[in-house]
Amino acid sequence: MCSKPIKGKFVVVKWTGVFIKGTEPLASSSKFTSRGNQGTWDVLRRYSSFVKLTLVFAYVLRFIDNAKAKRSETKRQGILTAQEIQNAKIQIFKLTQQEAFPVEIKCLQAKKPLPKSSKLISLNPFMDDHGVVRVGGRLSNAPISYAQKFPVVLPKDHHITELIIDQVHKQQLHAGPQATLAAIRQHYWPLSGRGIVRKRLNRCNRCFRVKPVRYEELMGNLPENRVTMSRVFLNCGIDYAGPILIKEGRGRGKRISK
């Protein structure tokens, strides 16, 4: 559809074979279709950073809006606004959910109950004004943000879910699985969250490097007195020196062992 690459800070994509149905103005939800696994342009799996993917989406949406704008004054230029980035995120979530939950989305659009075998049924999901599937719940009166009350449902095995886990894990300064999952759930609800976060964090190089497997030395043979049955106090030993304490490595918070 578009033959020219978009110019901007993140010019990475060659826009050949793009299949975009068209978009509506910024504030409303746009219609955006990728070819997914079958096509040549699988934009969702093209990047290894969620931030970069979001910015690319935002520039694409801006390009489409600018191309459709009749007057040059209405064309947007300069750095991306928060609204544009938010809109790009909405498109990414919609594409991801369309790929992962096509049946559920059809049911929610038709306002029909979900099939009993659906993985989302326990979450009581609903579709927000932008068409993003969110977790329903009983927290609508809670004094917390909308995203926290109704997090975006994310599929279990999807590249976008992995990118979001990576991003939050880095934002939280390489926190453990539990802390990372808690931070993710401020905005998103990945299915089987604990398992996939743990699996993803196991692949983090930095975490792996700072947590090397400790070498456990082989203990020597026990003395004869300790392995021979005898009367109580027939043998006794006095440890004048006490246990020798060894610090395992340098730095703060290192354990001391005997």
Which tokens belong to 193? 């969250």
CB contact set of 159 (below 8 Å; sequence gap of 6+):
44, 45
Of the candidates 214, 234, 218, 215, the one whose C-alpha atom is nearest the C-alpha of residue 226 is 234
206 binds Zn ion (CB under 5 A): yes
Residue 154-183 contact track with Zn ion, rule CB under 5 A, x = bound: --------------------x---------
Token pair for residue 194?
């604990």
Q: Please report which helix (H) or strand (E) contains residue 189, including its range.
A: strand 188-190
Nearer to Zn ion, 14 or 203 (CB): 203
Cβ of residue 227: shortest distance to Zn ion, in angstroms?
46
Nearer to Zn ion, 87 or 161 (CB): 161
State the binding string over 6-45 for Zn ion (x if CB under 5 A, else -). Answer: ----------------------------------------
Q: Which stretch binds Zn ion (CB under 5 A): 56-64, 68-76, 119-127, 200-208?
A: 200-208
Which residue, chain included where needed, has tokens 């969110």? 134
Q: Which stretch binds Zn ion (CB under 5 A): 127-135, 198-206, 216-224, 231-239?
A: 198-206
Binding of Zn ion by 198 (CB under 5 A)? no
- Return the number of the residue (174 or 199) whose C-beta is nearest Zn ion: 174
Question: Residue 206 or residue 226: which is nearer to Zn ion going by CB?
Answer: 206
DSSP classification of residue 74? G
Pairing of the two strands 188-190 and 152-154 = parallel
Through-space distance between the first and last CA atoms of the chain, rounded to whole angstroms? 70
If the CB atoms of residues 92 and 196 are measured against Zn ion, the closer one turns out to be: 196
- Quick one: which segment of 47-55, 153-161, 206-214, 234-242 binds Zn ion (CB under 5 A)? 206-214
Rounded Cα–Cα distance for residues 38 and 163 (Å): 21
Give the distance, in angstroms, between the CA of residue 206 and the centroid of all CA atoms in the same chain.
Answer: 17
Q: Tell me: does residue 207 bind Zn ion (CB under 5 A).
A: yes
Structure tokens at 45: 């799996």
Nearer to Zn ion, 66 or 167 (CB): 167
Run of H or E including 190: strand 188-190
Positions that interact with Zn ion (CB under 5 A)? 174, 204, 206-207
